[in-house]
Amino acid sequence: MFYLALVIPCYNEESRIKPTFVAYFDYFSNSPNFKNKKIAIILVNDGSKDKTAEIIEQFEDFSNETITVKTVSYEQNQGKGAAIKRGCETVDSQIYGFVDADLSFKPELTEKALSFLNYSDFDLMIGQRNHNKNETLYLKLRDFLSKLLRRMINSFLAIPNFDTQCGFKFFKRNIVKEILPQIKQFRFSFDIELIILAKQTGHEIKTFPVNFKHHNESTITWKDGVRYLLDTVSISEQHKTVEFTGLVLRLFLFTTIISLFVYGWVIFEGHLFSDDFTWLWYGQKINKSLINLLTFRMSTFYSPVMNAFYSIMYSVFHYNPQPLFIIGILVHILASLFSGIFAWQLSKSKLIAIIVSVLAAFAGVAYEPLVWIGANMHSFVTLFILSSLICYYHYLSTKKNLYLALTFLCFVFALGTKESAIITPILLLASYIIYKIEHKMVLSKANTVFWIGTILLSGIYLYQQFLWQKNGIWVQSGIWDINVTSFFRIPLIIFDNFIPISFLKAYLTTWSAGVLWLFSLTFLTFILYQFRKLKLIWFGFLWLLISISPFIFFKTEFWWEPLASRYNYVSRIGAIIIIATILRHLIVHNKARYIINSLIYMVIITIAVQLYFMAKTITTEYDYVYNTGRSLTQAMQKIDEINPNKIFVRWDHPFTENNAHIIGAASIIANIDETNIVFLKKNEKEIIDNQEILLYWEPHERKYAIKQNY
* pLDDT single digits (tens) 9-53: 999 898 889 999 999 999 999 988 888 899 999 999 999 998 999
Of 339, 377, 375, 376, nearest to 358 (Cα)? 339
Please determine, for residue 160, whether its predicted confidence score (pLDDT) is greater than 70.
Answer: no
| 168-172 vs 124-130, strand pairing mode | antiparallel
User: How far from 543 is each of 355, 389, 565, 573, CA to CA, in Å?
Assistant: 17, 12, 17, 8
The CA radius of gyration of the chain, in Å to the nearest whole number, is 33
Please determine, for residue 681, whether its predicted confidence score (pLDDT) is greater than 70.
Answer: yes
Please determine, for residue 217, whether its predicted confidence score (pLDDT) is greater than 60.
Answer: no
Question: Is 325:336 a contact under the CB 8 Å cutoff?
Answer: no
pTM over 0.85: no
User: Would residue 274 be called left, alpha or beta, if left means φ above 0 and alpha means ψ between -120 and 50 degrees?
Assistant: left
Q: What is the average pLDDT score of the chain?
A: 87
Task: Find the range with the poorest average confidence among 229-233, 412-416, 613-617, 667-671.
Answer: 229-233
Sign of CA dihedral 566, 567, 568, 571: positive
Q: What is the mean pLDDT of residues 566-590?
A: 90
Task: Find the range with the poorest average confidence among 85-94, 133-142, 328-337.
Answer: 133-142
User: Would residue 12 be called left, alpha or beta, if left means φ above 0 and alpha means ψ between -120 and 50 degrees?
Assistant: left
User: Would residue 185 be called left, alpha or beta, if left means φ above 0 and alpha means ψ between -120 and 50 degrees?
Assistant: beta
Please determine, for residue 205, whether its predicted confidence score (pLDDT) is greater than 80.
Answer: yes
For residue 532, which amino acid is it? R
Distance CA 41, CA 2 (A): 10
| 67-74 vs 39-46, strand pairing mode | parallel
Distance CA 666, CA 640 (A): 9
Packing angle between helix 568-588 and helix 350-362, nearest 10 degrees? 140
pLDDT band at 486 (very low <50, low <70, confident <90, very high): confident
Q: What is the mean pLDDT of residues 355-373?
A: 93
User: How far from 463 is each of 386, 412, 456, 469, 699, CA to CA, in Å?
Assistant: 24, 16, 11, 10, 45
190 vs 370: which has the higher pLDDT:
370
How many CB atoms sit inside 10 A of residue 583's CB?
18
Mark out the alpha helices in 439-567 (DSSP H runs).
445-470, 473-476, 484-487, 490-498, 510-530, 535-548
Which domains does the chain carry?
Answer: 2-239 (3.90.550.10), 478-591 (no CATH), 625-708 (no CATH)
Out of 216-230, 236-250, 537-551, give the one with best mean pLDDT: 537-551
Question: Is 333:248 a contact under the CB 8 Å cutoff?
Answer: no
Phi, psi of 72, deg, nearest 5? -130, 135
Q: What is the mean pLDDT of residues 607-620?
A: 85
Please determine, for residue 451, whether its predicted confidence score (pLDDT) is greater than 60.
Answer: yes
Of 494, 249, 263, 226, nearest to 357 (Cα)? 249
Distance CA 47, CA 35 (A): 34
Please determine, for residue 214, whether its predicted confidence score (pLDDT) is greater than 70.
Answer: no
Share of the chain above pLDDT 90, in %: 53
Please determine, for residue 133, whether its predicted confidence score (pLDDT) is greater than 70.
Answer: no
Question: Is 228:187 a contact under the CB 8 Å cutoff?
Answer: yes
The DSSP result for 265-282, as a single string, is THHHH----THHHHHHHH
Question: Is 395:449 a contact under the CB 8 Å cutoff?
Answer: no
How much is the pLDDT for 574? 96
The DSSP result for 92-151, as a single string, is -EEEEEEE-TT--S-TTHHHHHHHHHHSSS--EEEEEEE--TT--HHHHHHHHHHHHHHH
36 CB-near residues (< 8 Å, 6+ apart): 66
User: How far from 651 is each of 195, 505, 686, 699, CA to CA, in Å?
Assistant: 73, 31, 11, 13
CA angle 584, 589, 592 (to 5 degrees): 95
Of 361, 355, 353, 356, nearest to 329 (Cα)? 361
How much is the pLDDT for 551? 87
pLDDT band at 155 (very low <50, low <70, confident <90, very high): low
For residue 401, which amino acid is it? N
Task: Find the range with the poorest average confidence among 45-59, 418-432, 588-602.
Answer: 588-602
Please determine, for residue 73, whether its predicted confidence score (pLDDT) is greater than 80.
Answer: yes
Please determine, for residue 710, whether its predicted confidence score (pLDDT) is greater than 60.
Answer: no
